[in-house]
Chain A
Amino acid sequence: MTGILAASGPVIPDFGEASTCVQDNRLFCPDWVRDNWAPVLQPALLQHVKLVVIAVAIGFVLAFAAALLARRSTWFERPFDLFSALVYTIPSLALFQLLVPVTGLTVTTVEVALVSYTLLILFRNILTGFRSVPADVLEAARGMGMGSFQVLRRVEIPLALPAIMAGVRVATVSTIALATVAAFVIPEGLGRPIFLALRQFFNTELIVTAILAVGLALVADGLLVLAQRALTPWTRIKAGS
């Protein structure tokens, strides 16, 4: 049985004037959290948010463009779909490490990997959204004298929005979870304090960082649900007069 943690064994570091709570390595020490929020936890949280927002934004732009192309011409869909499914199968840690020789131990490496993962989710959901626009609605729009761009802007995108938002939700939550692995490449994001805590078997930090990581994802999910409800009021009415 190997593993870098097993090799180091349980070590109780000397925290000096640390509280008894920390010295006893209890499950949750509020004083530690208070002391370390500003220097450790908050920066990690903000870095994490930044990583995720960039990844989802870029992934969205790429996937949206691809879905616009794929919704009419069938030749594009299969290759792009296969490609993103392929990349999605690659374990994240491996993808990070394979990119390092090419783009270095930088944020770029992390972002390239994260974007690749969001591509599959966003592409499938956005395309599904476009495909769900009823044919008679499109025909009426064209017949009324809307040009292609207007049909897209006034009809297709609004009607695809529920599926698109659902995709953004899934992609965001998944990316928040995935971005923890970034700590293997760069010292940023919530993965870093988790990593350090694992080395020291420091219970409070382990629990707190784990809660932060999961909590961030759930909060983001909730906010996106609210955004979806605000953007698509017509999806919540009941059918029939």
Chain B
Amino acid sequence: MADAAARIVFDHVTKRYPGRAAPAVDDLTLEIPAGEICILVGPSGGGKTTAMKMVNRLVDMTEGDIRIGDESVRDRDVTELRRGIGYVIQQTGLFPHMTVAENVATVPRLLGWDKQRTEARVDELLDLVDLPAVDYRARYAAQLSGGERQRVGLARALAADPSVMLMDEPFGALDPITRTRLQHELLRIHREVRKTVIFVTHDIDEAILMGDRIAILRPGGRLAQYDTPEAILAGPADDFVADFVGADRGLKRLSLTRLDELPLEPLDGARGPALAGSTTLRDALSTMLSEGSRTVLVLDGDGAPRGSVTLDALAERLVS
């Protein structure tokens, strides 16, 4: 049972369904470094969910190979393989007849962990996903809100400390506010547990926010581009990617950088709205436009102004 994250390699993976001319996934080759979040994104019919499901063999490959660490997924017994992979789906699939604690304890129990170890792990995970164990252990799924349910789903997937996590549009069924909150939660948790994650979504903004790397799949299941969000936004590989990313990709790039990452001008009596250092450039631009100011003041951790950033500096960032 690997505790450390493992890298995932797709090696010319193809999936063909009988009776259909075009493959669902076509010669997909990419490597996901250990501990990174890789987003599979694309329009419907792009084969992204199919590709992800071939990792835990809920769908079987027609050609090619997928390796976790150095071991092919075909070499392991399939139920054993799945117990080592965390699996999160959109509707959560929480077991309605089990309490939250029992749900989270599912894979540890399948693996035969003893009761004490399991209980300790459950408490640890519930705290990790910000659902205090004391309150939530004994509740049933029907008593939870959508966001709470998805957190339990996440805790359940992390329970046996898998080396790899597969997440299929996990936040798709949530309202926008909850979705944003959970996206940031997941990033925080990922900083702590550092798993290798494959995350499927159709939402390019979610992909840019969450991904260390993004794989864009076009209809027909072929890889259009695989790179960091920054690189894709700066240089889309072709028209399809450019279209998919959106004509506002310049603005999207701005959301990848924060104010405190830029060199700051000295204060020097500059005037303008004050923003925290953690504000993205995009939000800063938005504030500049709405307040009618070409300068914003950047605050440090204590709320004191450290320096300023001008509209010209922002524009330069875009071009570089």
Direct chain A–B contact by Cβ atoms under 8 Å: yes
Judge if B107 is at the interface, Cβ distance under 8 Å: yes
Judge if B79 is at the interface, Cβ distance under 8 Å: yes
For residue B87, which residues in chain A have a CB less than 8 angstroms away from its CB?
Answer: 140, 143-144
Q: Is the CB of A137 within 8 A of B93?
A: yes
Among listed A12-20, A85-93, A232-240, interface-contacting one: A232-240
Residues 117-162 of A at the B interface (beta carbon under 8 Å): 134, 136-147, 150, 154-155, 158-159, 161
Judge if A8 is at the interface, Cβ distance under 8 Å: no
Judge if A241 is at the interface, Cβ distance under 8 Å: yes
Given A139-B89, A144-B106, A150-B110; A239-B96 close (CB under 8 Å): no
Given A136-B93, A137-B93, A241-B148; A142-B143 close (CB under 8 Å): no
Interface majority SS (helix, strand, loop, mixed), chain B: mixed
For residue A143, which residues in chain B have a CB less than 8 angstroms away from its CB?
Answer: 56, 58, 82, 85, 87, 89, 93, 166
For residue B133, which residues in chain A have a CB less than 8 angstroms away from its CB?
Answer: none
CB-based nearest B residue for A150: B110
Q: Is the CB of B140 within 8 A of A237?
A: yes
Q: Is the CB of A137 within 8 A of B95?
A: yes
For residue B91, which residues in chain A have a CB less than 8 angstroms away from its CB?
Answer: 134, 136
Residues 150-187 of A at the B interface (beta carbon under 8 Å): 150, 154-155, 158-159, 161
| Docked complex Cα distance between A143 and B52 (Å) | 12
Which of B84, B94, B140, B148 is in CB contact (< 8 Å) with A137? B94
For residue A159, which residues in chain B have a CB less than 8 angstroms away from its CB?
Answer: 95-97
Given A136-B91, A139-B93, A140-B89; A146-B79 close (CB under 8 Å): yes
| Docked complex Cα distance between A142 and B166 (Å) | 13
Name the distance in Å between B122's Cβ and chain A's nearest Cβ. 15
| Docked complex Cα distance between A144 and B153 (Å) | 11
Q: Is the CB of B140 within 8 A of A141?
A: no
Name the distance in Å between A235's Cβ and chain B's nearest Cβ. 8
Q: Can you give 24 A-B contacts (C-beta < 8 A)? A: A136-B89, A136-B90, A137-B93, A139-B89, A140-B92, A143-B58, A143-B93, A144-B156, A145-B80, A145-B83, A147-B79, A150-B110, A154-B95, A155-B97, A158-B97, A159-B95, A234-B97, A234-B98, A234-B140, A237-B142, A237-B143, A239-B142, A240-B145, A241-B148
* Interface of A toward B, CB cutoff 8 Å: 134, 136-147, 150, 154-155, 158-159, 161, 232, 234, 237-241
Given A136-B89, A144-B156, A150-B110, 15 new contacts (CB under 8 A): A134-B96, A136-B92, A137-B96, A139-B93, A140-B89, A140-B92, A141-B95, A142-B58, A143-B85, A143-B89, A144-B106, A145-B81, A158-B97, A159-B95, A159-B96
